[in-house]
A and B are shown apart, each in its own frame.
Chain A
């Protein structure tokens, strides 16, 4: 089945810094999603982005389907951005990477 790899596994940022999270997947997919898992364990949908670029406030994502990777950009990070970011890819069903644990310190 499809393999999903995320990097880096851990990231510590000063508040206000920018960051880029990467997701590589092993096969062509027709669904790619980015999630933020908050400290209470809830998976919050960030982007549904099988291809192209989307932006939502300080967050944006780009998926290059032909090269099998996706990037999540976080600009001007805030302490509330802390948590684990998951990429999940699929033809069916969603397969998750191991996540990137982000800590934003004031």
Chain B
């Protein structure tokens, strides 16, 4: 079974530039998450989708971050304009969870390491 795929693996941009990350979840997984992990900290949720609807985006800095999950499969996360403090690893995860079912196991991609200079 293929895992969660993310690209690119690494990205270096200058502040005020824009950047986009792509995620392809495990086939059949209804729930998709984007997490931000700053060096030395645990991952922090940015946004959660169920199918193509947003479940939780309360911690997404909406003035500069946006995310979409068209057709309930692939997802993209965009930052525009980037700031120095956005330097982090961006992790995508997916799980089977559907509807009102209890949480099921989440699986993570390899992440995209973003450096803003």
Residues of A at the B interface (CB closer than 8 Å) are 30-31, 33, 35, 40-43, 45, 48, 86, 88, 90-99
Contacts and interface: CB of A to CB of B under 8 A. Distances in A.
Contact of A86 (B42, B56, B97, B111): B42
Contacts of B93: 94
Q: Which applies to chain B's interface (DSSP): helix, strand, loop or mixed?
A: strand
Contact of B110 (A41, A90, A95): A41
A99 B113 contact: no
A8 to B, nearest CB: 15
Contacts of B41: 98
Interface stretch (B15-23, B71-79, B101-109): B101-109
Contacts of B42: 86, 88, 96-99
B48 A41 contact: no
A48 B105 CA distance: 6
Given A86-B42, A94-B33, A96-B43, A42 B110 contact: yes
Given A92-B55, A92-B97, A92-B103, A43 B108 contact: yes
